[in-house]
Amino acid sequence: MIKSSSSAWARIKPHRIDLDGDRIVYRIAGKGPLLLFVHGMAGSALTWRFVMPTLAEHFTVLAPDLLGQGQSAKPRVEYSLGTHASMLRDLLDALGYKRATVIGQSLGGAVAMDLAYEFPERCARLVLVGSGGLGHEVSAYLRMLTFPGFEYVFPLFCTLRLRDAGNAIASWLDRAGVRWPPAAQEIWRSYASLADADCRRAFFRTLRDVIDLSGQAVGAGGRLNRATRRRPTLILWGEQDPFIPVSHAVAAHKAIPGSRLEIFEGVGHYPHCEVPERFIDVLVDFMASTKPARLAARSVRRRSA
């Protein structure tokens, strides 16, 4: 039975650290093998609130806000997968951790694969949750957002006043005992974050690095085998994911020897929020039934190739 609650999550306090002059906000709790959680686009560590408190009873759980998102800094820089992966590597260094089981959802899955490829010694296991980077298809809504100039029109539909009104309505419904479905909460939270101009700028830079009008523009491709070679890999997907089709999970499972595939029926893009009990059970079993990989770092020559 899941024990997570708002009070349990509140006890996992946010911390701040400067990495190369940029503020990174992260949450950490527990003891044991390290689980590094990587959220999706326009998200934050908050997306893991339903699973981190329970998992902290058995593991060390670490969830940062990626650069440009959440409470972390939003500088005018490149927001590529490599930028995010390097930040995660630097965060592990700063906190004194050599490796982690890396759990990435949506954009975070693509970041996790890039981390595993570029810094194989840091990734003991890989868990991909509704992951980007495994195929070309993506929702029409995300493709539409990449239309040239759309970032200048978007503020008309996502203002601070609309965000505040929506938050007020959500608060009123909560007091009345009406609960939004977890997936709806996540979608609203992502949308509401874009009312902030700095967050919106970082979002569109990130979006256009991975998606264009025809679909996902960045994929694991030939790197997939290198990123997962000799590394335990778990693929988790919602059967009804409206953003990234479940066919990507099936194809990735076939392409990754020895990988484990879990498809959650009746679940969308956020299985860790929609069915947290099952998510925790599958993840704990995966951890118990696999041995962490201990791989060598890539050579400087290969990294520069």
At residue 32, the pLDDT reads 96
User: For position 305, what pLDDT does the model report?
Assistant: 37
pLDDT at 3: 42
**Pairing outcome for strands 22-29 and 123-129:** unpaired
Distance CA 35, CA 64 (A): 12
- SS3 per-residue string spanning 117-153: HHCHHHEEEEEEECCCCCCCCCCHHHHHHCCCCHHHH
> Which residue of the set 39, 248, 269, 272 is catalytic?
269
Quick one: which of 90, 98, 39 has its CA closest to 64?
A: 39
State the greatest distance between any 2 C-alpha atoms of the chain, in Å, as a whole number.
Answer: 61
Residue 233's nearest CA partner among 256, 205, 207, 202 is 256
- Residue of 65, 114, 209, 241 marked catalytic: 241
DSSP 268: -
CA distance 103 to 128: 6
pLDDT number for residue 98: 95
Q: What is the pLDDT of residue 21?
A: 94
pTM above 0.85, yes or no: yes
Cα–Cα dist 78/68, whole Å = 10
Which candidate in 106, 131, 193, 259 is catalytic?
106
What residue ranges define each of the domains in the chain, with the CATH number in brackets?
A: 6-138+217-294 (3.40.50.1820)
Indicate if 139 belongs to the active site. Answer: no
Active site residue 22: no
Q: If residue 263 lies in a helix (H) or strand (E), which one and from where to where?
A: strand 260-264
Length of the chain (residues) = 305
pLDDT tens for 194-225 read 889 999 999 999 988 888 888 887 776 666 77
Low-confidence residues of the chain: pLDDT under 70:
1-5, 173, 178, 220-223, 299-305
Q: Is 4 a catalytic residue?
A: no
pLDDT at position 220 is 67
